[in-house]
Amino acid sequence: MTIKTANLGFPRIGRHRELKFALESYWSGKTDRAALLDVATRLRADNWRLQQQKGTDVIPSNDFSFYDHVLDTAVMVGAIPRAYGWKSGPVDLDTYFAMGRGSQGDSHANCGHSRHGDGVPALEMTKWFDTNYHYMVPEVSDGQDFTLTSQKPVDHFFEAKALGIATRPVILGPVTFLKLAKARPATFKPLDLLPKLLPIYEELLRRLSAARADWVQIDEPVAVLDLTEGERHAFSVAYKVLAKTVPNLKIMLATYFGGLADNLAAIADLPVAGLHVDLVRAPDQLDEALKVARKDLVLSLGVIDGRNIWRVDLSAIIDRLEPIAAARDIEVGPSCSLLHVPIDLELETGLDADLQSWLAFATQKLDELSILGRGLTQGKDAVRAELSAASKTTAARASSPKVNDPLVQGHIAGVNDAMKRRKSAFAERRAIQSEAIRLPPFPTTTIGSFPQTPEVRKARSDHAKGALSYMDYEAFLRKETEAAIRWQEEIGLDVLVHGEFERNDMVQYFGEQLSGFAFTQHAWVQSYGSRYVRPPIIFGDVSRPNPMTVRWWQYSQSLTDKPVKGMLTGPVTILNWSFVRDDIPRSETCRQIALAIRDEVVDLEKAGASMIQIDEAALREGLPLRHKDWKTYLDWAVECFRLCASGVADRTQIHTHMCYSEFNNIIGAIAAMDADVISIETSRSKMELLDAFRNYKYPNEIGPGVYDIHSPRVPEVKEMTDLLSLARQRLADDQLWVNPDCGLKTRKWEEVRPALVNMVAAARELRSTLAHDDQRIAGA
Ligand code: GLN
Ligand code: ZN
């Protein structure tokens, strides 16, 4: 029986973020196309050589992308909306980037008027399954014709071959491509286009075969989603065709991010040569897969976590795989592409030595794979030392006092139901709050952050480098904060914020002050395009040694008589934007964070805060891929929010904020959070999102965003009063707050100033109509 180690994809960004710098320099016109291509060629070569050197048997190619692999696929098959001006033939790099990030044309982006000139907006962007990677949503039209505009997978295969490295090209499968695509107009299902798309894939497979590729990896992650009969049927249609196209080119159908579950039988039945299953997310599907898989189907077993950064106990994995390897051909690999983990742990110099020994990034995962491969082919004795080292570190981690904090575990055990409930119901709290906090109708506020100007960022980095003393940095932040408070008073906002100038990031800022969190220097992961993030690593029980935000709140409140909101990031968001522990359930870590935030909420109240906002920007993002798992997730997510928000008296007003827009199917959970006020993103949807709140008869107060902060445009007063009228058609006047869609940290003051002045004017206009109504009533 043959046993091979196989990688599904390697991070494309470069150890030192070379791709980001090359792209941004190209975009700004500092370097030319040749320079960009050159960096890309070098990155690919480095990655292939690294995998070769690590002894990976099956090395992927075409996992590289300048921006996004879904966009690559759209471009490759000619799914290029008319607006981008492509007619036929090869698609040039600038058209590709226009689809990824929009093009400015000749207009000035910041002139404050709506787009004009030849600029084209980017395609829509959305999250890649439940990862923090974002892909460009392909658009297909009803008359869509597909054509093969490039043969990048073939080119890259040759490029590796020229280096003496045989690779397995990776392509995104046709069913996943169409299922992720958007129909324009929305009068048909993209999947209906499958018969038109398949010939393009056939042509590509023929070319790969002519190039003498013996295998191709076709990614079909949608196979782990809830599928309709029709969608399952699409798989069978597609792979009947593709498997026949070139019989000597074997297809490894890769599924990941979850178990195949009810799709397993149908997928395992496809006439492909290999099937990859994710055994990290769904370890239990192995038995079932073994049962249904044809004897000659090469099973690729995803046993190394492609989504997380922990070293594993390799010995246990070998024990599990040995009997399987004796009975059939297998590959062992990561659960999914390694795109979602940082590249190399060796770059980290500042981590705690124990923690460092518990981690494995992409490069280290290749080592783990190689040990697994050798252990399975040559027997455990051949890798005795490596296995015992791995077992030793996993055992050390499990029992480490750095991980286990009995105090935290005691607090968790002490959580009771009363701690998850505000003292009184909303109606009573509301009456008490409106006595305590005198606000006009349609109160105005903002979401928290003000522009992170170049000066703010420079001061922070100077301070981090030691070039700016603590005292000077503090003085600088105080000055910024004071100016922000003064300015908010001046323009007449009702509820003020301190501006978040002291924060680098809404999660990192808290993580750095909590126990159980670690931060890296170089562990970047692609979020989208040239944007990379360094997620915190939660390695141990979480607690809050000291108050985190009270000092800044106190300072800001001391400057004004208007209420200043305390500003916190919620437990679910902190969890969802971090690498989490794999030794306890996510819900458990979330509960620990919730208790820590709860302490902060209580301390803010003690300090005198009458309003505290707890942002849950990423609550919806955490939704499981399968519908049947939603309730469990939402139950504990909501419980954690309530746990952190319920330590205060009725008079204290709890706000929350959520960025995204799709509330319809989670509105019950949003209501169950029982925040006194929620602010949401609604301006671009013309308030249609409020329908969910209206239909649900959502009782608490809401600030539907009236100002789209994603655009440099300054909205006119009338646009905002129009939006507010739409909101008033859906919600009661006394429910409504007036605020922007989200925080303003990415905007410039030149944009924010006039926009908020207009926003305040819009609220005042509304109030004056109310006053008229009152007079009318009084006079009648
Ligand atoms: N308070 C945060 C801010 O204004 C909220 C941001 C968010 O939810 N993304 O920046
Ligand atoms: Zn937001």
Ligand nearest to the CA of 743: 1
Residue 763 backbone phi and psi in degrees, to 5: -65, -40
Q: Is the CB of 655 under 6 A from ligand 1?
A: no
For residue 107, the model assigns a pLDDT of 37
Residue 59 backbone phi and psi in degrees, to 5: -110, 125
Contact 539, 403 (CB under 8 A): yes
CA distance 10 to 13: 9
For residue 777, the model assigns a pLDDT of 54
CA distance 149 to 171: 15
CA 467 centroid distance within chain = 33
The answer to whether position 393 is within a domain reads yes
The answer to whether position 698 is within a domain reads yes
Ligand nearest to the CA of 510: 1
* One domain, residues 341 and 247: yes
Q: In this structure, which residue's CA is closest to atom 1 in ligand 1?
A: 448
Question: Closest Cα to residue 497, out of 684, 750, 745?
Answer: 745
* One domain, residues 440 and 381: no
Rg over alpha carbons for the chain, rounded to the nearest Å, is 27
Q: Is the CB of 567 under 6 A from ligand 1?
A: yes
The answer to whether position 528 is within a domain reads no
Q: In this structure, which residue's CA is closest to atom 5 in ligand 1?
A: 743
pTM: 0.95
Pick from 657, 660, 680 the residue to mutate for probing ligand 1's pocket: most ligand atoms within 8 Å of its CB. 657
Contact 478, 555 (CB under 8 A): yes
Residues of the chain with pLDDT under 50: 106-117, 779-780
| Count: domains in the chain | 2
Domain span holding position 758: 429-513+548-779
Instruction: Report the atom number in ligand 1 closest to the C-alpha of 613.
Output: 1
Q: Is the CB of 617 under 6 A from ligand 1?
A: yes
How far, in Å, is the centroid of ligand 2 from the Cα of 448?
9
CB-based contacts of 215, cutoff 8 Å, min separation 6: 58, 168, 249, 250, 251, 252, 273, 274
Q: What is the CATH number of the domain that holds 502?
A: 3.20.20.210
Q: Is the CB of 659 under 6 A from ligand 1?
A: yes
For residue 775, the model assigns a pLDDT of 63
* One domain, residues 246 and 202: yes
The answer to whether position 30 is within a domain reads yes
* One domain, residues 369 and 459: no
* One domain, residues 433 and 324: no
Q: Which of 379, 399, 419 is the last residue of a domain?
A: 399
Active site residues: 710
Q: Could you tell me where the DSSP H helices lie in 420-568?
A: 426-436, 454-465, 470-491, 508-511, 550-558
* One domain, residues 378 and 494: no
Ligand nearest to the CA of 565: 1
The answer to whether position 109 is within a domain reads no
One DSSP character per residue, 276-317 reads EEETTT-TTHHHHHHHHS-TTPEEEEEEE-SS--B---HHHH
How far, in Å, is the centroid of ligand 2 from the Cα of 321?
45
Q: Is the CB of 647 under 6 A from ligand 1?
A: no
For residue 229, the model assigns a pLDDT of 96
Q: In this structure, which residue's CA is closest to atom 9 in ligand 1?
A: 617
Tokens of 571: 């437990």
Q: In this structure, which residue's CA is closest to atom 10 in ligand 1?
A: 743
Q: Which of 348, 378, 399 is the last residue of a domain?
A: 399
Ligand nearest to the CA of 570: 1
Instruction: Report the atom number in ligand 1 closest to the C-alpha of 616.
Output: 8
The answer to whether position 136 is within a domain reads yes
The answer to whether position 103 is within a domain reads no
Q: Is the CB of 742 under 6 A from ligand 1?
A: yes
Q: Is the CB of 615 under 6 A from ligand 1?
A: yes
* One domain, residues 322 and 455: no
Pick from 449, 616, 619 the residue to mutate for probing ligand 1's pocket: most ligand atoms within 8 Å of its CB. 449
Instruction: Report the atom number in ligand 1 closest to the C-alpha of 503.
Output: 10
Q: Which of 377, 399, 421 is the last residue of a domain?
A: 399
Q: Is the CB of 618 under 6 A from ligand 1?
A: no
Contact 648, 597 (CB under 8 A): no
* One domain, residues 384 and 434: no
* One domain, residues 334 and 435: no
Pick from 496, 500, 548 the residue to mutate for probing ligand 1's pocket: most ligand atoms within 8 Å of its CB. 500
* One domain, residues 388 and 471: no
* One domain, residues 395 and 437: no
Pick from 447, 597, 746 the residue to mutate for probing ligand 1's pocket: most ligand atoms within 8 Å of its CB. 447
The answer to whether position 53 is within a domain reads yes
Residue 653 backbone phi and psi in degrees, to 5: -90, 120
* One domain, residues 381 and 473: no
Q: Is the CB of 222 under 6 A from ligand 1?
A: no
